[in-house]
Structure 1
Amino acid sequence: MEQKVRDLRSALKLLESMPGQLVETDVEVDPMAELAGVYRYVGAGGTVKRPTKEGPAMIFNKVKGHPDAKVAIGLLASRKRVAALLDCQPEDLGKMLYESVANPIPPIVTKAAAPCQEVVHKATDPDFDLYRLVPAPTNTPDDAGPYITLGMCYATHPDTGVHDVTIHRLCIQGKDELSIFFTPGARHIGAMAERAEALGQKLPISISIGVDPAIEIGSCFEPPTTPLGYDELSVAGALRKEPVVLCDCVTVKERAIANAEYVIEGEVIPGVRVQEDQNSHTGYAMPEFPGYTGPASDQCWLIKVTAVTHRKNPIMQTCIGPSEEHVSMAGIPTEASIYGMVEKAMPGRLQNVYCCSAGGGKYMAVLQFKKLTASDEGRQRQAALLAFSAFSELKHVFLVDEDVDCFDMSDVLWAMNTRFQGDADIITIPGVRCHPLDPSNDPTCSSSIRDHGIACKTIFDCTVPYDQKHRFERANFMEVDSEKWLKHTDK
């Protein structure tokens, strides 16, 4: 019988049935830097400092200071695992997510008892303490504090009543306080908080931790694919072909994901900004997806926590900022956004898209483009321009032909080495807003950059000119079933 994945526990159960995809340890681990230090070697991958690798997800059964909790990490740190968890082939993930955005299934609210509220701790309790209740790790000894890296933040616009879910950088700052970082102009809940502040109101918010992987992937879409007013929980509903179930919070007027492992309830306080490293004074926040440890912000907003609810024997889910897990969560929705925009403009030409590990899922995309007629020459570059429009944080686009495996970076670089000329096939677009976490996007690195966060976006056209295709045919090998020769070997 097929394993049905609808929450974190069923996801882990599926991985348990897949050889080499999940490991558990009963050796006690300190969540302060040690846990991430271990997983760096086991399976972090991504842009994490070498040595690292892609490997299994991991469960730590004994976490120092948290006798009743476990910590799971690396659930999505493999495209193969993501595909299994979403019941899809790895190369089809972007296309499947595009279809899910186009055919959303909105969430529903249950009045039944929610698994995430089996145990309730209110901030009015005399012993309430986030540090004790939530086993949030630090990635490195330099982190500003314990971070919740996979918290599904859910809020409602104070004017329109529309809902949204996004993932934000959340740092525990005190017994009942979290800081939340809003990238200016980039996330819908940030816009909701700004509007609530303009009205002089607190913004109720829930933070659901340890949920269905479909929710984690779906929550990472951005405009214009999912504009303000589009609830990304509807993407997860479409992926699962049934709605995500929400429940009413215990202490604030908001909803949370009913089958989450943990829910933190609270309110974003207007007119207050927090120094992110006010407790550690390291000057740093946490490792971010480009592979560098980001500076601590003095413009974080404050969440006053009103309650923590959780399942019995809860499982905390976390990730390493620059790991392959970020590549999956950010990159696959980006692939879907690019595929959708190009397919609408020029149907049948774009075969696939890959936002690779080297770009952290955000900075680099490989577009596999098929020129059907002579008049398609040049359209591949139009497709690259559309990719930049589909995802504003994209910095580099590589264009390859349909005979190049866009998911194999060695094949992409082969195409670059045999089909690309630097003086003719590089197209630069200087002075475009990109992403502030890329340290090279700074005036100190180029005179063309007027402000931090601006970049020179670049297209690398590694496609063969249509009228030259006969000169670039790859060697044709005999098609055979190799299993005949391998079935009696150890492979």
Structure 2
Amino acid sequence: MTDLRNYISLLKKNREIKTVKTKVSTKFEIAGVTAKIDGSHAVLFEKIKESNFRLTANLVGTRKRFALAVGATENNIHEKVILAIKNAKKPEVSSSAKFMENKSKNLLSMPIVTHFEKESGPFITSSIVYATNPETGQQNSSFHRLMPIDKSHFSIRMVEGRHLHRCFVDAKEHGEDLKIAITIGVHPAISIAGAYQAEWGSDEMNIANSLLKGKLTLAKLPFTRLQVPAGSEIVIEGKILQDKTHPEWMVEMLQTYDHKRSQPVFELENLFFRNNPIFHDVLSGYSEHRLLMGMPIESKLNGELKRTFPQTEHVSMTNGGCNWLHAVVQIKKKDESDPKKIIKKTFESHRSLKQVIVVDTDIDPNNAESVEYAMATRFQADKDLVIIKNVRGSSLDPSSDQQKLKTAKTGIDATRSLSKHPEGFELAKIPKIDKIKIEKYFR
């Protein structure tokens, strides 16, 4: 039960996916349909005009589907992810894999989607890249978007200083191209592990194996000798050329366009895919993209804050903050100094954060109206506001200093004052309201 098809069957069982049998185009139409259903259902497109592959999207576009992917409930997602990181275990390696059923030399046979009007081209957005860490010999896995140049070349987006880029720089310093493998269409638990920012030298597939209860199997590729999930729908192997670049620009998590950059070029060696393959597309800046990137960070924050401050109940990366720039921390306050200490630690744990709001346990951190209520009734700007100036922030934030990557950050203590009578802050409740079934009264 560790491949994409198993997960789609689970979504069908839970009525969380819709099937589109009408033939659709990769040029804006798939993106448009995905955007329209954003936050409601996953989608499976059976017929694509430009390709014989099927295509799925919005697989983990809600916390419910994210929980299904890791075998959790919405209330214990982070406990499950944190435990998987703690108990990461190396997967078994198989001598066979279903993706070996077909082989091609044409990257353009895939249904690569054109999403937005001003992007530099179509992009593969769900691609997980595998490379060997030059220092430890362990594999590294991470998300990187790919733009086709021709049938055997992609540009590959890499953030400087991140793990794949460090592997690439090492290979280049030794006068070599970097051999990599790429998977498209894997069980979302594998994607979630690939999105997690593990320590340098760690193998994210060990985390994926733990999330999948030790049932993940890898298979070794003929050219790169890298090991990838055996149940992958599509596997690409080749090399990132040390001396070639290509211009591109794309839409980021904030639904804004990134600036034009020259990125390294990938050259194809082999393209493998299963019979009747399923391509996975992630619509940039929409719920699946944000949750895939933000939820592993949310798990990290929950783990680190609860370990350092036991009074922490829950940390949420907010939808309004694109699940990346804003966080709400729910605490059981014991001392008036708790919120500001927690604000400081939260910023330290995730550098991209721009705003942290601390609330009490009667405030739902996932409900924007509830959080605003806490600010309206429990926050005083002259003593509960923290402003941190001229510090490193997110490169995605267009309002920041993009050259120096400097920004200002805001911390807000929206908790009840311990020096005031608690009765003044108590939310009124109606007894047994949860047992009232409203349809019984309106027939």
TM-score between both structures, scaled by the size of structure 1: 0.86
Closer/same/farther in 2, CA of residues 359 and 69 from structure 1, 3 Å limit: same
SS at match of 2:415: coil
Contact 1:437–1:453, Cα closer than 8 Å, also in 2: no
Within 1, Cα distance between the matches of 2:428 and 2:114?
50
42 and 388 in structure 1: CA distance in 2 versus 1, 3 angstrom threshold:
same
> Which amino acid counterpart does residue 433 of structure 1 have in structure 2?
R
SS in 1 for 2:250: strand
Q: Which residue in 1 is equivalent to 2:329?
A: 367
CA contact (8 A) 1:14 1:85 kept: no
1:23–1:386 distance in 2 versus 1, CA, 3 Å: same
CA deviations over 1:365-384 (Å, ceiling 9, x no partner)? 1110111x3xx321222122
Counterpart among 394, 397, 419 of residue 438 in structure 1: 397
1:400 to 347, 355, 359: 359
Name the SS for the 1:290 alignment partner: coil
Separation in 1 of the partners of 2:215 and 2:401? 43
Q: Give the % identical residues.
A: 29
For residue 143 of structure 1, what is the aligned residue in structure 2?
Answer: 119
Matching residue of 1:282: none
Contact 2:327 2:357 in 1 (8 A): yes
Distance 1:481 1:148 in 2: 45
- Corresponding residue number in structure 2 for 1:129: 106
Q: Is the 8 A contact 2:2 2:215 kept in 1?
A: no
Quote how far apart the aligned CAs of 1:202 are: 1.6
Structure 1: state its 5+ residue gaps: 44-53, 122-127, 277-284, 444-450
Match of 2:252 in 1: 288
Partner Cα distance (1:40, 1:340) in 2: 32
Partner in structure 2 of residue 90 of structure 1:
74
AA of the residue aligned to 1:189? L
Q: Tell me, in whole angstroms, the C-alpha distance in 1 between the residues paired with 2:204 and 2:350.
A: 16
Query: 1:106 aligns to what?
Result: 90
Superposed counterparts of 1:2-151, under 5 Å: 5-19=1-15, 21-43=16-38, 54-66=39-51, 68-111=52-95, 113-121=96-104, 128-131=105-108, 133-151=109-127
When residues 393 and 490 of structure 1 are mapped into structure 2, their CA distance, relative to the original with a 3 A threshold, is farther
1:238 aligns with 2:210: yes
Among 174, 186, 189, the residue aligned to 2:164: 189
Which letter maps to 1:317?
Answer: H
In 1, the alpha carbon distance for the partners of 2:441 and 2:42 equals: 29
> For 1:252 and 1:227, how far apart are their aligned partners in 2?
23
* Conserved? CA contact 2:131–2:140, under 8 Å: yes
SS in 1 for 2:75: helix
Cα distance in 2 for residues equivalent to 1:274 and 1:301:
6
Q: Deviations over 1:277-314 (max 9, x none)?
A: xxxxxxxx22211121222312x111111111000010
Residues 243-287 of structure 1 deviation map (CA, whole Å, 9 limit, x = unaligned): 5321111322322221111011111111332212xxxxxxxx222
Name the amino acid aligned to 1:55.
S
Cα RMSD of the aligned pairs, angstroms, is: 1.8
**What amino acid does structure 2 have at the position aligned with 1:296?**
K
CA contact (8 A) 2:130 2:182 kept: yes
Answer whether contact 1:380 1:399 (CA < 8 A) is retained: yes
Instruction: Give the SS at the match of 1:295.
Output: coil
Letter in 1 for 2:302: Y
Contact residue 436 and residue 452 of structure 1 kept, 8 A: no
Give 2:411's aligned amino acid.
Answer: I
**Cα distance in 2, alignment partners of residues 25 and 405 from structure 1:** 36
Matches of 1:377 and 1:369, distance apart in 2: 12
CA positional deviation for 1:489: 7.1
Q: How many residues align?
A: 442
Residue aligning to 1:50: none
CA displacement at 1:24 relative to structure 2: 1.0
| Inter-partner Cα distance in structure 1 for 2:80 and 2:342 | 20
Cα distance in 2 between the residues matched to 1:18 and 1:156: 38
1:129, distance to aligned residue in structure 2 (A): 2.3
Contact residue 223 and residue 269 of structure 2 kept, 8 A: yes
Q: Is the contact between residue 265 and residue 308 of structure 1 (CA under 8 Å) also seen in structure 2?
A: yes
Q: Distance in 2 between matches of 1:439 and 1:287?
A: 12
Which residue of structure 2 aligns with residue 200 of structure 1? Answer: 175
The question of whether the paired residues in 2 share the 8 Å contact of 1:106 and 1:243 is answered with no
AA aligned opposite 2:325: Y
CA 308–479 in structure 1, closer or farther in 2 if over 3 Å, else same? same
**In the alignment, what sits opposite 1:280?**
none
Q: 2:226 aligns with which of 235, 254, 262?
A: 254
Query: Given residue 358 of structure 1, which amino acid in structure 2 is its aligned partner?
Result: G
1:270 aligns with 2:242: yes
Contact 1:368 / 1:402 at 8 angstroms: preserved in 2?
Answer: yes
